[in-house]
A and B are shown apart, each in its own frame.
Chain A
């Protein structure tokens, strides 16, 4: 090592410890030991590994310390590792100019570039082993062989952060073990305990100007949070706790009178990470609150993280009313989503909505954004999915420059937009998600060598997949999900007749009373298709609305005046119903018997009409036959008689059906009588015609 090694920081060596310690103590709780270790690494300088559960601000601490010691942003390199990590990304991507001859890397874009004095690797042990192996060599030799060129590692310290426990991870994986040995100093970052006093201390640190009401809130909230913790299965990380504080105190602001009431604490459920709290959350929260249901905590201005009107188009004070007014008139069961969107616009922060398809997630989001004054062109909407790749995320490669270097056309990506909607985000592969995570954290994207600022204030992600399932599968997804501080599962609390009726009412507010009656019948039919069990089949709102439209369409298309069973049966063709296994027709008929006799009656009328038509056809055949030769006549007669028999059995079936039908409403009874008469008339006519 060179002799001036120790002078790599602008701060004199003796001051490293006090400066770092002070800087960390300003922002973090329980940071004393970490500060000590970080300064030790800088003093030497040597490499440092910080590990421990997520959400404790490991990378943040490192950055704060580095900056307090006088390093500038462009002297620190941060690289996220993870499943999507590949070797070429580590070394800065392929050098496009040399691609025709040999594979060389563009090391100026990697951590090897000469301007970087400190390097931070995040989630380092999540990367696949093949990309960790070459890293080990470089850390040892401090030189990377890029083709024939030697690229020296100029950074003095490499700091790695990881959520994984190196003690468990080192076993049986030599590559990792060897890499770990390159980090001389190692330290676990976690709190001494996760109890009420710990959280209270954290809150006191981030809200130093809290009023007495605010301190009361801190006390209560930290009690609630500590009550939720369970050793080994669920511990609320400081990040989640802070977000909980933010959400709860914002509830007071959203109310308008800056008061915290009983319900405010329930909004903890929106905080990222709470979706893995599978137990009965609301009861657990209630248990820690004062018994008095009407308690109120008055907050003052020092208790909120910000006072201004917020960076979005609509001012903060208008957001709650705007969102509520737009969504509540157009969607049902949207209370939760209104709350979570309000919180997200208010703060503003990113939000993830997930849940079964067909509940209008994207529609609601778009409606809410439009109500805030964003036009279609100002909202960036991108569908992710399996085909999503990194270059599509950043707007596609800049083709003109492709021969020289790889740059993206970021004007076409989400970066310049203030509000962004990303759909099906969890379907994308981890290679595409990894860089996204980085940009969401750092809010700048390095496009080639030019930094592009991310202007997005609110990113709303929608997905049909369950994030719990995915977070287990892939750490890249887990890390990305942590960038969405608010999350909500969008589904109806129940799928009953009343719910569907309300849905139809909101979708067709001006329906005539006759239409409304049909809606009711249709809702009844659909509710009958649902499974009692929560895990079973539920007709989603999209299927319900689609089915209703299709039924109306079928009535109109066939020129009918009234809806008949056939029209309702069209629901079988709606997307999403193909997986329905039970006997749709039987269920629909029994449902109609219970609460839609009108449809059955008009069905019978319609069929009588058809049979009448058929009778006329048969008569025509007989007539035609009468003018023919013996043989041909017999043949035709036989055919007509066969059809006649069929007709008669259909009439009998119709009669049975009518008899089976029992109604109580006098109006319907009258109708039934009329239908009966008509059928009888037809039957006698057929009799006579024979």
Chain B
């Protein structure tokens, strides 16, 4: 994450930020604090959000518990009440004339309007308490964003955007995204390609800068409210998924390149050919752990017939003979699931040009997409980086190793001087042929991520039996595209 310069807060917002008056009504008739808000406090403490004032937590809980936002008069009454509570006795007398206690009511009313504009429905959580915690974080952030002077509709727009982006993330995706190194490590400051970024996002360059600016501000407030949570990878389990999604959302706001990453992984998901192929077979095996019944195939299976068949023989010998003649009796058979996984092999470009723009992020998007298949135990993944030569092979045995590998990545790593795609393809094919037998996998697929635009002299028949997917980031390479299409793989360029 970017080193956040402390954002100055205007003097008149000081009390507004330091204290909180809740702006929501609880649902009084039936739900009536179904969520134990003290438990919410405990959980918030556990994940490093202990600094939040209690009324914010009420707001978060109320919004889950079908509560409503208060109206203007009610907010005024409440702020007056709470501000006077904090006042010195003499001040309180004076306040009857000065009306100092209601000066923030306007701000709270704006906050309540802002909260009305945020889609809290987008926040999903297993239970209500998870949602409440996520709500609290969003409210706190929205409030502070208001205090630093971002217009309310921009806040709502950006927060809704982030919530929408992360709303559909599965827990394994979140897990992988959490390993992503900070943007400063992956993106050299002098190689940012604004024109490419604005083309990717379909906005003008001015909008892009403006968006990123607002997002950056909101994000730093977000991460403020998460405290030092990012370090605590070991205690991931106690963070509910809803909060982990929000954490991704805050990084998404802070690091514009995350958007590129999510976009590419979405694009990749649109292709059937790029999904792990769904094949689970039950094979007959003597040592199988499950039994199934099937029709008999030949007469030597007589001893394995179900006992009911012999009862038929007693009841009607003729019918038994008929059934036997037509082989329509059932036999028992032990089966075992074939656990051959699919083999993915990724060839990743580490030439120096990859440092440009958001190419590294796009490369990671593809790699993470494949890692998910490994996490779901659907595939085996191997990968190598290449430039003018092909570097050592990494077989992903343990997913945590791969995650560590991602955590360690830096843009300096991408320093090769040339890109030899032909070599990478041939070497990839060679390694696949070797690995397929070693790890007992099947249906191999070769994945190439590169920004090279060189001609290709690999012939389709060299790839026999291997599906080739190519992802050409921020460049074009028609030769490579044609080759991949011939194998039935996904071929995308200018990503």
Contact = CB atoms under 8 A, between A and B. Distances in A.
A284 interface: yes
Contacts of B280: 469, 472
A279 B321 CA distance: 50
A359 B483 CA distance: 46
B272 A593 contact: no
Interface stretch (A13-21, A84-92, A134-142): A84-92
A182 B328 CA distance: 30
Interface stretch (B147-155, B288-296, B345-353): B288-296
Contact of B33 (A94, A283, A402, A665): A665
A106 B278 CA distance: 43
Nearest to A590: B39
- Which of B34, B35, B125 counts the most chain A CB atoms within 10 A? B34
A377 interface: no
B327 to A, nearest CB: 6
Contact of A387 (B293, B325, B490): B293
Contacts of B31: 520
B129 interface: yes
B124 interface: yes
B3 to A, nearest CB: 32
Contacts of B33: 664-665, 668
Nearest to A406: B322
B36 A279 contact: no
B277 to A, nearest CB: 8
B126 interface: yes
B325 A88 contact: yes
B36 A594 contact: yes
Contacts of B241: 532
Nearest to B294: A429
B37 interface: yes
Contact of A497 (B39, B127, B318, B326): B127
Contact of B295 (A278, A431, A498): A431
Given A521-B34, A528-B127, A533-B172, A99 B272 contact: no
A234 B277 CA distance: 12
A530 B29 CA distance: 29
B38 A84 contact: no
Contacts of B272: 230, 233-234, 276-279
Interface string A451-484: 0000000000000000011001100000000000
A593 B266 CA distance: 39
A683 interface: no
Given A99-B318, A230-B273, A662-B38, A595 B326 contact: no
Interface band, chain B: 35 or more
Contact of A473 (B37, B127, B282, B321): B282
B242 to A, nearest CB: 10
Interface residues of A, number: 70
Interface string B274-316: 1100111110000000001111010000000000000000001
Contacts of B376: 535
A84 B35 contact: no
Contacts of A176: none
A594 B328 contact: no
A449 to B, nearest CB: 18
A663 B38 contact: yes
B326 A664 contact: no
Interface string B9-40: 00000000000000000000111111111111
Contacts of A521: 34
A402 to B, nearest CB: 6
Contacts of A387: 293, 330
Interface in B185-238: none
| Residue of B40, B282, B293 with most chain A CB atoms under a 10 A cut-off | B293
B322 A595 contact: no
Nearest to A667: B32
B281 A473 contact: yes
B318 A468 contact: no
B109 to A, nearest CB: 26
A279 B280 CA distance: 18
B375 to A, nearest CB: 9
Contact of A429 (B39, B127, B295): B295
Interface in A268-316: 276-280, 283-284
A534 interface: yes
Nearest to A429: B295
Most chain-B CB neighbours within 10 Å: which of A399, A497, A521, A528?
A497
A280 B266 contact: yes
Nearest to A495: B126
Given A591-B127, A664-B38, A532 B319 contact: no
Nearest to A525: B127
A94 B322 contact: yes
A10 B34 CA distance: 82
B293 A279 contact: no
B116 interface: no
A472 B322 CA distance: 32
Nearest to A232: B488
A96 interface: yes
B34 A517 contact: yes
A594 B35 contact: yes
A496 B30 CA distance: 20
B126 A527 contact: yes
Contacts of B172: 533
Contact of B330 (A279, A386, A530): A386
B318 A595 contact: no
Contacts of B490: 230
B38 A496 contact: no
A675 interface: no
A437 B274 CA distance: 32
Contacts of A277: 272
B65 to A, nearest CB: 10
Contact of A86 (B127, B129, B293, B326): B326
A360 interface: no
Interface in B325-384: 325-328, 330, 376
A284 B270 contact: yes
Contact of B278 (A100, A230, A280, A468): A468
A93 B280 CA distance: 34
Contact of B327 (A86, A430, A472, A516): A86
Nearest to B376: A535
Contact of B170 (A88, A534, A662): A534
A664 B127 contact: no
A436 B156 CA distance: 57
A230 B271 contact: yes
Interface string A655-671: 00000001111011000
A494 B124 contact: yes
A409 interface: no
A530 B36 contact: no
A604 interface: no
B275 A496 contact: no
A232 B273 contact: yes
Contact of A472 (B29, B281, B485): B281
B278 A527 contact: no
Interface string B133-157: 0000000000000000000000000
Nearest to B487: A232
A390 B318 CA distance: 17
B479 interface: no
Nearest to B325: A94
Contacts of A534: 170
A40 B270 CA distance: 44
A579 B247 CA distance: 33
Interface of A: 84, 86, 88-89, 93-94, 96, 99-100, 103, 128, 230-234, 276-280, 283-284, 386-387, 389-391, 397, 399, 402-403, 406, 429-432, 468-469, 472-473, 494, 496-498, 513, 516-517, 520-521, 524, 527-528, 530, 532-535, 591, 593-597, 662-665, 667-668
Nearest 7 interchain pairs by C-beta:
A232-B488, A233-B273, A278-B275, A386-B293, A431-B295, A662-B38, A532-B171
7 contacts: A234-B273, A280-B269, A402-B316, A496-B124, A528-B126, A595-B127, A664-B38
